[in-house]
Amino acid sequence: GELHAHEDVAGDAHAAPADRPRRRRGLAVALVAIGAVLVVAAGFGITSLATGGFGQRADTQAGGGRDGSRGEGSGGDGPQAGQQGEATSTGPSSAAAADPKSQLDAIVADDTRTAKTTLEGRWVVQLSSKKPDSADEAGYAAVLKKYKGEKASHPDAMLLFSSDWPSYSKKGFWVTILAKPYDSGSAAVAECRDLGLDSKNCFGKKLSSTEGPEGTYQYH
């Protein structure tokens, strides 16, 4: 009986070493499985980080450029620049489609500002003065047509209104002058001769906002 018992013990002793490799293999398989799970989890985390954090930042930057608060060109392409570009002029060009009287008024307003600055107290060449034959559109259209013809022949022609200048004796006339100033009436008359114009169509005139008409005309 003891011998069998010893054999049984020996059998158990021999069986234990045989079980160890199987347990080690099982442990290795478990470790591999755990490692695979960790790799998958890590990969999922990296993917989430890439599509979440960095993607959100990129979207924020792109959105800033679209709404004008960030990105290039937001300073110069905004509504203020557009409003400045749409500013309109009250000079002759803006009156091109208006009625003849409005066109005349716009031209006179623009040219008078220039004359007050550059021709005040100086002699100029005067080409003509004209009143409308009638106070209607046809009358003002005739004045405008005459001025445009003079402007075509003399690009430096300017249009004034005699009532704006005390140096004119007659009021209510549309007056065409040339923009070059002279120190004397004789110098202005000499220019009339050079232009080949007689005294009916050209003479010297002194423009003044303070002087009366006396001594402000010179003919040749």
Rounded Cα gap, residues 181 and 178, in angstroms: 8
Task: Reply yes or no on whether the pLDDT at 21 is more than 50.
Answer: yes
**Position 219, amino acid:** Y
DSSP conformational letter for 162: G
Distance (Å, rounded) from C-alpha 45 to C-alpha 83? 51
* pLDDT surpassing 80 at residue 1: no
Given a cut of 70, whether residue 186 has pLDDT beyond it is yes
Angle at 75 between CA 74 and CA 80, to 5 degrees: 105
Of the candidate ranges 34-38, 65-69, 186-190, the one whose mean pLDDT is the lowest = 65-69
* Contact present, 47 and 54 (Cβ < 8 Å): no
Burial class (CB in 10 A: 0-12, 13-18, 19+), 187: middle
191 and 212 Cβ atoms separated by less than 8 Å: no
Given this model, what pLDDT does residue 5 score? 40
Judged by phi (left if over 0) then psi (alpha if -120 to 50, else beta), residue 183 lies in alpha
Q: pLDDT at position 76, please? A: 39
If one compares 174 and 24, the residue with the highest pLDDT of the two is 174
Assigned token pair, 153: 């022949």
Q: Which amino acid is at 112?
A: T
Mean pLDDT of 64-92: 38
Please write the tens of the pLDDT for every residue from 93-135: 554 568 999 999 999 999 999 999 999 999 999 999 999 999 8
Distance in angstroms (rounded) separating the CA atoms of residues 115 and 206: 12
Q: What pTM does this model have?
A: 0.57
Q: Tell whether the model's pLDDT for residue 85 goes beyond 90.
A: no
Residue 22's pLDDT band (cuts 50, 70, 90):
low
Which strands make up the sheet holding 123-130, listed edge to edge?
Answer: 157-161, 174-178, 123-130, 203-206, 217-218
